[in-house]
Amino acid sequence: MPRFAANLSLLYAHLPFLERIKAAKDDGFEAIECQFPYQENSGAALKEIAESMTQLELPMVLHNLRGGDWSKGDRGLACHPARVDEFKRGIPDAIAHAQHLGVKQLNCLAGILPEGVSFGEAQKTFVENLTYAAEELKKSNIKLLIEPINTFDMPGFFLSSSQHALETIMAVPSNNLHLQFDAYHAHRMGEDILDIEELMPFIEHIQIADHPGRHEPGTGEINYLDFFMLLDDLGYEGWVGCEYKELHQANFLKA
């Protein structure tokens, strides 16, 4: 059975961020992850988060690079030609957060394809930004990940398929870029999550949620029992992030 990490951006959403860490521990999760640990997103200071994690012996295994202003529609900056400087300015801050929290991998959100920008221009910007970020993170022994996200939940998202992700990884001249495979997003885009053997050499992190509703496994149509067995068969040793909105209880393993 894979190792599961609670995504505190979606789970326990009724609780303040620091209380979510304890709730994850109480539910038996072995690790946590979150989308954005920055204080304006979590409402908790970096020092408080780190102290709570240490006290509860619950490591954080993933968070995102800064993704722009979410309230204004930003969903990442990496493909936006006019915001390259802003993207690069966020890298040192993300690294500092990761180092303080002991996080060894950061996810880079590609962003929404900007109006009036061609796919080719956005892809060129994406590759150049990833090349820069991958090498900067490598200096701190932190892995850079990219995640395809479905265009039903996030219309216009630039990176929406595993194939595009692989093509991008191959185009970046760095060995520090990897795939974050979200089974929920892949399923929503029509991919077969049981057909991932060729993706496994590129995958460093996996996330899950069921469909419809983006709730815990067992509430929808996705065959997660076979998926978890497949991960074991393929020798996956990374974490599986539980990035879902709990319908019945946060830890589906207790169901």
- Active-site positions read 147, 243
Residues 6 or more apart from 251 whose CB is under 8 A from it? Answer: 4, 6, 27, 28, 29, 242
Q: DSSP letters of 102-159?
A: T--EEEE-B-BPPTT--HHHHHHHHHHHHHHHHHHHHTTT-EEEE----TTTSTTBS-
> What phi and psi, each to the nearest 5 degrees, are found at residue 95?
-65, -40
Q: How far apart are the first and last CA of the chain?
A: 16
On whether the CB atoms of residues 216 and 242 are closer than 8 A, the answer is: yes
Q: DSSP letters of 162-177?
A: HHHHHHHHHHSS-S-E
> What phi and psi, each to the nearest 5 degrees, are found at residue 237?
-115, 0
On whether the CB atoms of residues 83 and 75 are closer than 8 A, the answer is: no
